[in-house]
Structure 1
Amino acid sequence: MRSVRLLVAAAFVLMYTYTFAQSASVTFEAQTRVFRMEGGNVSYAFGINDANELQPLYWGARLSAGDPLGPAHRNQGHASFDLPSGSTLQEFPGWGEGLYYEPALKITFPDGNRDLVLHYVDHAIDGNQLKVRLKDIEREVYVELQYQIDPKTGILARSAVITNKTSAPLMIEEAAAASWSLPNSKDYWLYYLTGRWAGEWNVQHEAIRPGARVLESRRGSTGHQNNPWFAIERGDHHDQDTGDVWFGALAWSGSWRITIQQDVLDQVRITGGYNPFDFGYKLAPGEQLETPVFYGGFTLHGIGGASRLLHQFELARILPQAPKPRPRPVLYNSWEATTFNVTEQGQEALAEKAAKIGVERFVIDDGWFGQRKDDHAGLGDWYVNKQKFPNGLKPLIEKVHSLGMDFGIWVEPEMVNPDSDLYRKHPDWVLNFAGRPRTEGRNQLVLNLARQDVRDFIFGFLDKLLSENDIAFLKWDDNRNWSEPGWPAVAPDEQKEVYVRYMQNLYSILKELRAKHPNVEIEDCSGGGGRVDLGILHYTDEVWPSDNTDPFDRLSIQDGFTYAYTPGVMMAWVTDSPNWVNRRSTSLEYRFLSSMQGSLGVGANLNLWNDEDFATAKHMIEEYKQVRDTVQHGALYRIISPENGSEESVTESVADNHDQAVVFAFLHSSQMGHPFPRVFLRGLDRNAQYRLHWITERPEGHLPESASGAYWMDHGVDLDLRGDFQATAFRLDRMQ
């Protein structure tokens, strides 16, 4: 089968708030036929209306247990042009009965019928999980809606399982994971993320208007152009930490679509799942299709609060090492130093230099395998090149281990060069339309991972590589999108299943590799941020946000990335200056401070460094290790955003226990002698004393050695930043 005014009184309030935020419940009120889900500071409710449809009732700040929410009633429609079936919000609408808005499910039956009307059948509650079964009014087509609410954050996980219990195959033409609904209003503002290669993670912010805004990828992967995340704010607030915000993220790494639609009654619907473009999934009798998971959350604390909730949820529920991911090690990657010209001797020399500055993981990049001298040949031939490594990888690995580092290696398993032994042997293994051209990107084609033989080949060579070598880390790359997404080996009416089966097999490989090699960590990379989503993050420990390593560009790239994803997975390298992207020159200290806002790596050519460079790098890495747990796992506050051409950028990360905070501040260039804005911190314990420690050189001016959390937040800090591309950083440590 195919298959989230007294001391006593004050103490009581604190205790109640903590308990309230940690509890979760799912209930069904039989009299009103209303489901309620509570978690964290969020309530979510929907009911069974008089037409036996599931109708959303409430999603927002947590309500009291006795607050009335039902019963649900079907709307009467809006004139003859908008029927009740469309004007009434539904939890999971099928396309039928005059639905003019985006459906969650669209099916064509063998007789040509395309009308699908889903009604409630039954449900089951198990702790913080709810399953509700729907059925078409006539045919034996069932949809099980799955809900799970997270007790701590109130983030809700939603998905659907579609089952064909008829006697004939049917064709699923559109399948969403969920449809979210907001009450009618004309004051909603949408956030979403756009980009391109080397220019990812641009935050877009616009008013929601009547009609539809479609966010999507048709590329076979998540894509650089849009990311499957959204946030909707009620009112246009200018403070990141105030205001009602609803947000969501789709856990799917293939082609996807999210539609944000405001209807004629100003109701907002958000529907997301598989991209219906070129989509078709043949469901035989007795078979099932399970959608991806669509996560949704709510906060009263603005877009910044939404980010912090999502980060917290990702660390505790999504990542492979959840609920306590270990801090990401400082790594060195040899790509920019050597490109394809890797040799055992050259890599060992770089490893010695990397160890001197405190690097913990040494990674060899492209060029170690097959006949890989450039990007024209060798992909698919995953044997060690004997000219470059006469005795295999083990001598290099042993050298790296002797220097106190673990070893990582680059792979690109899903791709093949036409100039390779693999392609010459199996030209049918790539995505293609029979008799049509096979479009290359970066001189490579995409292996059809939907095929079982391709899936077994990829798992086999990776398993062999990890079994025969002491490898702690895989950098898994994916350097092009799909073209000609054909699958001529199966029947024509099954070929469009490639969009689903490919990703299912990719996830299964990652899952099996992790089970067999539990100490191996994996980075997901796709020409930078081309495949970042909550689906791939369930199987990978970190991601590569962008190939653009310019430290100034990275401020906005990293800022946008953290709207949806935790800094704990955001790899950020220190590379050479001038940077290859813009030919911009910056100091080594500036480059380190930019990268220290995420998971720190070094990718510069260490062979070109002088003694001063090594001393600077060693100092910055030592300082980073003192704050990395706070940076990677703490609460992020965007004090000054680099968006919209801002001359300044300031971030603050605060440890979960409020014992430490770290602040990074950047200046693009001084203008007219204006001073750098005073920095007002957030998230500290107001009554605690914090000692100030400068990561960079202490600036001029009077600054206390220690002060209360109230002082740092209310009085603020003046930073003496003047000039071009200047930066500074400090940390605050709670005094015992």
Structure 2
Amino acid sequence: MIFVNESSTPSFHLTNGKISYIFHVLKGSKILEHLHYGAAIRPRDNYDYLIEREVRPSNNLYADTHTTSLEHIKQEYPVYGTTDFRYPAIDIEYPDGDRISHFSYTGYSLISGKLSSDKQPMLRANVLEDETLIIHLKDIYSEISIDLHYTIYKSHNVIVRRSVIHNKDAKPYKLNRALSASIDFSHNNFEVVHLYGAWARETHMERSPLLKGVQNFSSTRGASSHAHNPFFALVDPNTTEQIGEAYGFSLVYSGNFLSQIEVDTYNVTRASMGINPYHFAWDLQPGTSFQTPEVVMAYSKDGLNGMSQQFHNVYREHLLHNQTPFKKVPVLINSWEANYFDFDDAKILEQAQLAKDLGFDLFVLDDGWFGSRDSDNGSLGNWTSDLRKIPQGIADLSEKIQAMGIHFGLWFEPEMLSVDTPLFKAHPNWIIGNPDKNISHGRNQFVLDFSNPDVVDNIFEQMSEVLSTSNIDYIKWDMNRYISEPFSNFLQRHQQGEVFHRYILGVYDLLDRIRKEFPEVFIETCAGGGGRYDPAMLYYANQNWISDDTDAVERLKIQYGASMVYPISTMGSHVSEIPNHQVGRITSLKMRKDVALFGTFGYELDIVKLSEHDRDEIREQIKQFNLYQTLIHQGDFYRLRSPFEIGLTAWMIVSKDKKEALVGVFQSQASANPAYDRMKLAGLNTDLEYSIKELDSDMKEFSSRYGDDLMEIGLLLNENFTGRADEYWGREKPGEYNSRVFYLKA
């Protein structure tokens, strides 16, 4: 899939017949010029016909030339200066303070599959199918070299990029900027799609025109954050969910990131992504290397849905941690909204027994089981059983719950520390922050300095003691505050610019060690909900709790936006209490189920207090999810109607063989005398005839329809009351906040 044309100006073409990525080496400067990324074209011996070069007012790289200005050349891994005034991919500070580099091509390597790393999460590759091109660059002013990695997958419209910077010099250098990828598009006829939000309203989608100049989405919080997700897409203004070009960028990283788009005065669009250079400065010592996280670039000619499906498929097949003790993703019940901190072992055992009787696979004991934790004021970092609540300890409780025939899970927040703990008293300098200055707190807690290996060791030993002495099948791994004063008492003065990155590497290290020591434990990551919902977390975890907001109506926007890049099978989604604890809204048990159905599916309410009628309904809901789980978690997801545009939200999942589908339709508000509505479906086989049943409506059946019919005309959401007008006036009206789910079978 990688074609190399050897010449004085070598060219490289990565193509799997569906996409093409082409660049070449410039004569003289030996800098890489980008030529094309997008729809596949056939390989050729020469791509000079793609070069655009005119004389423009500018600084030129070489004397007596008028077309060597890097400001007007589309590049692969640009530097600032030497005639390019746009933002660069890399910025190196030399020992004398100078920051001008020139990286020239020196050669390339080809690899079946790809190289891996034990320090950072990365996509896997199949050595029999997937290929990696490594371009070798060297600075003409020093012994700094860069390897640019490009991986192309046989079965996906995806290019994965990263860079590795090596210091082969005898002197130290400072990396002030080291992005994972940069690409220059020849035009600015794009709109940008990105995901923004805050706690309890994460991954809201926004689409807007590109501006001249620079715009970016980023995090400076020590985590990928609730505010912006490490994803964006550039799309043609006419692109819809089903048609048109879309270029998606997703960063496999959980710390401070930068997604930046720069449009110059000649309408060239530079898209770049990587570690946020703000408060970043890496001391590159002699003989050491620095590896950037991966950027996953997905291309689609089939609209935003096509782009999303590329991300979903490549992440399911090459990123997600799929090892689990469960034959299927467990339907869990989490104790948080039922109990908060107020419980004892008798209460937990009663809830667990009832959960087993209702058909749950897993009971999760959330916050409050350790130290002396009756509120969020203390005990983090003291991972020992609270014997006031659980007199015989977690080991005994876990055995009793397992004996009921239901699995048991436990909540941890490993990265945080409270001042009332033995750990803080022994090591007050183990928190992030300068002890000579004010250190702020969030949720009454401080952030442990995971750049210090001793800190990671201590937390690993505490967690390992719990996991090795108890019957724990599941961990909910939480993180409830950001880093606000980035200072490490462990690192030296010249390393303080490394705090954020070393912190997240420490988090990866702990996750990796837990994974290796307890490979059968199922992990769900969380960060006050979606504060760290990113591909890197999914490398270690089976799923992510995407928001603390469990309201069914609010979840429509959250799950819709998240589906832009993340598989449905990774979205922690629960049926919760009413009135909802975040917004106070009352929605039916059915609607709460219908929304949660399109996710991992679980519950978070006090089942002991429910009526028998509600318990019976939950039994049936769990059976329903189990019936369709394979379809939901392995099928292709299509967005049909956006909650950001109209009051009706709709999406559907189609099995890979196109013989089954689930369609969810959600009405946020009721309306009088509604207009007729035909919902055009997607992804079906035009030649297959589908039976249609509406779930939870006594399996109401509709006339069978062919795939082309359903996609060109649509599913009729209104009824035909010809000859039965009296039934119309006497019908049961759906009311506020209603939902419908349709099952289609060929």
Q: TM-score per shorter chain, which class?
A: over 0.9
SS of corresponding position for 2:650: strand
SS of corresponding position for 1:599: coil
SS of corresponding position for 2:48: coil
Stretch deviating more after TM superposition (441-450 or 681-690): 681-690
Unaligned runs of 5+ in 2: 62-68, 113-130, 719-732
Q: Say whether residues 1:90 and 2:75 are aligned partners.
A: yes
Stretch deviating more after TM superposition (717-726 or 493-502): 717-726
Q: Say whether residues 1:192 and 2:170 are aligned partners.
A: no
Q: 2:39 aligns with which of 61, 72, 80?
A: 61
| Gap change, CA 1:77 and 1:368, over 3 Å in 2 | farther
Note if contact 1:637-1:682 (Cα within 8 Å) is conserved in structure 2.
Answer: yes
- Aligned position for 1:180: 183
Note if contact 1:57-1:70 (Cα within 8 Å) is conserved in structure 2.
Answer: no
Q: Say whether residues 1:42 and 2:19 are aligned partners.
A: yes
Matches within 5 A, 1:366-381: 366-381=367-382
Note if contact 1:362-1:406 (Cα within 8 Å) is conserved in structure 2.
Answer: yes
Aligned amino acid, residue 658 of structure 1:
K
Aligned amino acid, residue 729 of structure 1:
V
Structure 1 CA distance for aligned equivalents of residues 267 and 323 of structure 2: 39
| Gap change, CA 1:325 and 1:253, over 3 Å in 2 | farther
Note if contact 1:40-1:154 (Cα within 8 Å) is conserved in structure 2.
Answer: no
Structure 1 CA distance for aligned equivalents of residues 380 and 324 of structure 2: 36
SS of corresponding position for 2:273: strand
Structure 2 CA distance for aligned equivalents of residues 82 and 304 of structure 1: 43
Q: 2:712 aligns with which of 714, 717, 720?
A: 714
- Aligned position for 1:284: 285
Structure 2 CA distance for aligned equivalents of residues 433 and 77 of structure 1: 53
SS of corresponding position for 1:669: coil
Note if contact 1:637-1:651 (Cα within 8 Å) is conserved in structure 2.
Answer: yes
- Aligned position for 1:52: 30
SS of corresponding position for 1:56: strand
- Aligned position for 2:56: 78
1:713 deviates by: 2.8
Note if contact 2:323-2:520 (Cα within 8 Å) is conserved in structure 1.
Answer: no
Stretch deviating more after TM superposition (719-728 or 580-589): 719-728
Aligned amino acid, residue 53 of structure 1:
I
Structure 2 CA distance for aligned equivalents of residues 490 and 652 of structure 1: 50
- Aligned position for 1:553: 554
Structure 2 CA distance for aligned equivalents of residues 514 and 131 of structure 1: 30
Aligned amino acid, residue 605 of structure 1:
D
SS of corresponding position for 1:126: strand
What are the superposed Cα offsets for residues 126-148 of structure 1, whole Å, 9 maximum, x if unpaired? 23111111111121110111111
Q: 1:166 aligns with which of 165, 169, 172?
A: 169
Aligned amino acid, residue 12 of structure 2:
F
- Aligned position for 1:100: 85
Structure 2 CA distance for aligned equivalents of residues 320 and 499 of structure 1: 25
- Aligned position for 2:128: none
Stretch deviating more after TM superposition (353-362 or 280-289): 353-362
Aligned amino acid, residue 499 of structure 2:
V
| Gap change, CA 1:188 and 1:243, over 3 Å in 2 | same
Note if contact 2:13-2:43 (Cα within 8 Å) is conserved in structure 1.
Answer: no
- Aligned position for 2:365: 364
Structure 2 CA distance for aligned equivalents of residues 723 and 391 of structure 1: 49
Structure 1 CA distance for aligned equivalents of residues 293 and 457 of structure 2: 23
| Gap change, CA 1:695 and 1:652, over 3 Å in 2 | same
Structure 1 CA distance for aligned equivalents of residues 38 and 509 of structure 2: 35
Stretch deviating more after TM superposition (572-581 or 31-40): 31-40
Note if contact 1:327-1:632 (Cα within 8 Å) is conserved in structure 2.
Answer: no
- Aligned position for 2:106: 121
| Gap change, CA 1:643 and 1:123, over 3 Å in 2 | same
SS of corresponding position for 2:601: strand
Structure 2 CA distance for aligned equivalents of residues 379 and 533 of structure 1: 24
- Aligned position for 1:703: 702
Structure 1 CA distance for aligned equivalents of residues 157 and 327 of structure 2: 24
Q: What is the number of equivalent residue pairs in this alignment? A: 705
Matches within 5 A, 1:483-494: 483-494=484-495
- Aligned position for 1:498: 499
Q: Say whether residues 1:240 and 2:241 are aligned partners.
A: yes
1:364 deviates by: 0.3
What are the superposed Cα offsets for residues 650-694 of structure 1, whole Å, 9 maximum, x if unpaired? 111011121210111111223341146222222122222333333
SS of corresponding position for 1:643: coil
Note if contact 2:396-2:470 (Cα within 8 Å) is conserved in structure 1.
Answer: no
- Percent of residue pairs identical: 30
- Aligned position for 1:217: 219
What are the superposed Cα offsets for residues 88-130 of structure 1, whole Å, 9 maximum, x if unpaired? 1211112331321111110111111111111101110123111
- Aligned position for 2:334: 333
Structure 2 CA distance for aligned equivalents of residues 74 and 697 of structure 1: 61
Structure 2 CA distance for aligned equivalents of residues 235 and 666 of structure 1: 27
| Gap change, CA 1:47 and 1:81, over 3 Å in 2 | closer
- Aligned position for 2:125: none
Q: Could you state the TM-score of these two structures normalised by the residue count of structure 2?
A: 0.91
What are the superposed Cα offsets for residues 393-438 of structure 1, whole Å, 9 maximum, x if unpaired? 2333233323332111100000011122211111000001130011
SS of corresponding position for 2:304: helix
Stretch deviating more after TM superposition (387-396 or 495-504): 387-396
Note if contact 2:5-2:45 (Cα within 8 Å) is conserved in structure 1.
Answer: no
Note if contact 2:670-2:737 (Cα within 8 Å) is conserved in structure 1.
Answer: no
Note if contact 1:49-1:73 (Cα within 8 Å) is conserved in structure 2.
Answer: no
Aligned amino acid, residue 31 of structure 2:
E
Structure 2 CA distance for aligned equivalents of residues 55 and 323 of structure 1: 45
SS of corresponding position for 1:276: coil
1:716 deviates by: 2.7
Aligned amino acid, residue 494 of structure 2:
D
Structure 2 CA distance for aligned equivalents of residues 676 and 480 of structure 1: 47
What are the superposed Cα offsets for residues 431-454 of structure 1, whole Å, 9 maximum, x if unpaired? 011300111100000000000100
- Aligned position for 1:690: 690
List, as ranges, runs of 4+ consecutive aligned residues in structure 1 with deviation greater than 6 Å: 322-326
Note if contact 2:5-2:46 (Cα within 8 Å) is conserved in structure 1.
Answer: no
- Aligned position for 1:145: 148
Q: Could you state the TM-score of these two structures normalised by the residue count of structure 1?
A: 0.93
| Gap change, CA 1:551 and 1:286, over 3 Å in 2 | same
SS of corresponding position for 1:602: strand
Note if contact 1:33-1:71 (Cα within 8 Å) is conserved in structure 2.
Answer: no
Note if contact 2:202-2:530 (Cα within 8 Å) is conserved in structure 1.
Answer: yes
- Aligned position for 2:744: 732
1:626 deviates by: 1.3
CA RMSD between the two structures: 2.0
SS of corresponding position for 2:702: coil
Q: Say whether residues 1:445 and 2:438 are aligned partners.
A: no
